[in-house]
């Protein structure tokens, strides 16, 4: 088990963001350990007092437990949590919660977010759509009360249903997250620092409409939409979004927009940069090597290839950005040389 956990952490790139030294080496502003974040787990078979959910001194990291009896939810906090055992006979929920947020106890078994505040919802014997929705809402309500962002893991499912988001759980999630545009996810204006020497500035006139277009376009692409269909979405997005890139050592804001490009058999709306007006916009697909383009595709849509090939690792994202940044600097250098001539 320990070997599997270590290999998983290496494969997914978690080790590159969990410590200050590793994060700094990868150009990140700080270590990402889950500190200051509420991590909600909705599952069955959770041992609420497992060592993986405790601090090294033995005190619990679990801020709240939601437990169902006869379809009635009850909340437990503080010392009441210590009197609980498990909500089921298996250990699936314990396994899942430990992977996501297991404590760093010096045994090499820590989770992805070992310092997150844990909210555990045990529904092993009371699994239903209504109870799942109640858990999601309760986790978000707690996060709002303490003023922290929340992440929820729901490792439950089956192949039944419409798969279009119109059923009970999908509709409830959309409502609880404002269709993915709730505060903290919606960006109407701001600057995103990708690395110390590369940042992107965005202005979105109608964020809800832009996100709706992205969602529609993604569904269209999954159904093998042709160039003209994706191009319509591309043009609409460019009307809503104004963006530019800034790279250290490049004395200008480089205008950026999206442009329809073919990757494999699919058409995508990919970022494109304008290094000089007379040259027009250059799509990322014309800048990057094949491997970096695959990284870009995996980051944008991890379902585009089989899951085992599409692990979105931090290392892949950083390599993609660095390649992109190198291209920007090379283009700037060419322009400067041309001006001298």
Residue 230 has pLDDT above 80, yes or no: yes
Q: Give the single-character DSSP code of 86.
A: B
3-state secondary structure of 106: coil
Residue 255: phi and psi, rounded to 5, are: -55, 145
Nearest to 46 by CA among 123, 132, 111: 123
pLDDT band at 152 (very low <50, low <70, confident <90, very high): very high
Q: Which domains does the chain have, with CATH numbers?
A: 33-176 (3.40.50.200), 189-340 (no CATH)
Least confident among 53-62, 84-93, 173-182: 173-182
pLDDT band at 243 (very low <50, low <70, confident <90, very high): confident
């Amino acid at each position: 088990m320990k070997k599997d956990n270590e290999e998983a952490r290496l494969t997914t790139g978690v080790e590159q963001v969990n410590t200050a030294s590793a994060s700094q080496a990868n150009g990140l502003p700080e270590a990402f350990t889950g500190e200051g974040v509420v991590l909600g787990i909705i599952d069955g078979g959770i041992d609420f007092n497992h060592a993986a959910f405790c601090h090294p001194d033995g005190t619990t990291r679990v801020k709240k437990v939601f437990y169902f009896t006869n379809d009635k939810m009850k909340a437990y906090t503080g010392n009441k949590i210590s009197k609980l055992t498990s909500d089921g006979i298996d250990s699936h929920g314990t396994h899942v919660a430990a992977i996501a947020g297991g404590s760093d106890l010096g045994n090499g078994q820590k989770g992805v977010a070992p310092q997150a505040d844990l909210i555990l919802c045990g529904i092993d014997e009371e699994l239903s759509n209504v109870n799942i929705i109640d858990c999601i809402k309760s986790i978000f309500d707690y996060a709002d009360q303490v003023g922290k962002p929340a992440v929820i893991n729901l490792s439950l499912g089956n192949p039944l249903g419409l798969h279009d988001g119109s059923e009970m759980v999908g509709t409830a999630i959309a409502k609880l997250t404002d269709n993915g545009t709730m505060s903290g996810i919606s960006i109407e204006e701001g600057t995103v620092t990708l690395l110390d020497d590369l940042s992107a500035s965005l202005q979105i006139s109608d964020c809800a409409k832009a996100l709706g277009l992205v969602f529609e376009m993604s569904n269209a692409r999954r159904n093998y939409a042709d160039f003209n269909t994706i191009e319509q979405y591309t043009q609409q997005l460019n009307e809503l979004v104004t963006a530019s890139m800034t790279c250290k050592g490049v004395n200008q804001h480089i205008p950026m927009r999206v442009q329809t490009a073919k990757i494999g058999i699919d058409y995508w709306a990919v970022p494109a940069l304008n290094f000089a007006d007379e040259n027009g916009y250059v799509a990322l697909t014309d800048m990057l090597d094949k491997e970096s383009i695959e990284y870009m595709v995996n980051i944008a849509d991890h379902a585009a290839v089989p899951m085992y090939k599409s692990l979105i690792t931090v290392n892949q994202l950083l390599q993609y950005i660095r390649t992109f940044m190198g291209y920007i600097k090379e283009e700037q250098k060419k322009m400067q040389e041309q001006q001298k001539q």
